[in-house]
Amino acid sequence: MAVERESRAGTRGCSMYSTIACLVLLSHLGTEPQALGQRTTIPDAVARGGRSSVASAPSGPTPNIRALLDSTDVMARGRVGEAQSYLSDDQSEVFTDYRLSDPVILFDRRAETATPGLRRPIILTQRGGTILVQGRPFTESHAALLPLKPGTEVLCLLQRSGDKYRIVDWYYGVFEINSGVIKPLASRDDFASEFRGLPVQTVVQSMLALLQRSPGK
């Protein structure tokens, strides 16, 4: 499934990912990079010997929480379910879907059609994963956010994408809840330092206050 929306906050990471992943993929194949704007499909890469691609974490300042919340459609809490990875429609990327178990909707921008605290199915989409292509495994990795672990309790900032939801800014919109305390899962240590180690309820209340004043995008 192609992911439909790109937030302003996510555009920087996406363009950087496209360039880096393409160069890394081609370097694995021992070939020269193609002209700007052309992208090697994963099946073509696998046919030529490719087995993986790696995208480095975006450089520069990390997004602030207010910017992420401006792009948030839904804030939810739940446990990460089993992973299902697949090719994008253009066959140039891998995505992984996780169904959140026992999800609780804490905020929904469509306030007129949804009630905060309501439980409903949530399928969360992350970039990267491992798939079989032509009978061979291919892994796409993103240093900015490692694959989510089934069973982990998370607080998620999400954007609608058809009947699924993607992590806001792809890398920064998911937080682990461990013993009632929040930890950002993004690999950058300089992200969301103001929320690290705080009780989940304190973080949720702070985010809700900002979301209620947020115009959305």
CA-CA distance, 61 to 192, in Å (whole number)? 11
Give the pLDDT of residue 111: 65
CA distances in angstroms from 131 to 2, 20, 41, 90, 175, listed in the order given: 16, 20, 14, 15, 25
Q: Quick check: pTM over 0.85?
A: no
Query: Are 156 and 169 a contacting pair, CB within 8 Å?
Result: no
Assigned domain for 15 exists: yes
190 contact partners, CB below 8 Å, separation of at least 6: 62
* pLDDT confidence of residue 69: 93
pLDDT of residue 124: 95
What confidence score (pLDDT) does residue 59 get? 86
| Residue 51 domain-assigned (yes or no) | yes
69 occurs within a structural domain = yes
**pLDDT value for 109:** 87
What is the C-alpha separation between 108 and 115, in angstroms, rounded? 7
Question: What's the number of domains the chain is made of?
Answer: 1
Q: Convert 139-178 to b/e letters by CB count within 10 Å (16 or more is b).
A: ebbbebbebbeeeebbbbbbbebeebbbbbbbbbbbbbbe
pLDDT above 90 coverage of the chain, percent: 63
CATH number at residue 151: 2.40.50.120
Domain that holds residue 181: 8-213
**Range with the poorest average pLDDT among 16-25, 67-76, 188-197:** 16-25
Question: Residue 106 in contact with residue 116, Cβ under 8 Å?
Answer: yes
Whether residue 17 is predicted with pLDDT greater than 60 in this model: the reply is: no
**pLDDT tens across 164-199, in order?**
999 999 999 999 999 999 999 999 988 998 999 999
Closest CA to 142 of 99, 171, 168: 171
pLDDT tens for 102-161 read 899 999 988 644 455 556 789 999 999 999 998 999 999 999 999 999 999 999 999 999
pLDDT value of residue 217 = 57
In the Cβ-directed half-sphere of 20, how many Cα atoms lie within 13 Å? Answer: 17
Whether residue 3 is contained in a domain is answered as no
- What is residue 21's predicted lDDT score, i.e. its pLDDT? 47
Q: Which amino acid is at 12?
A: R
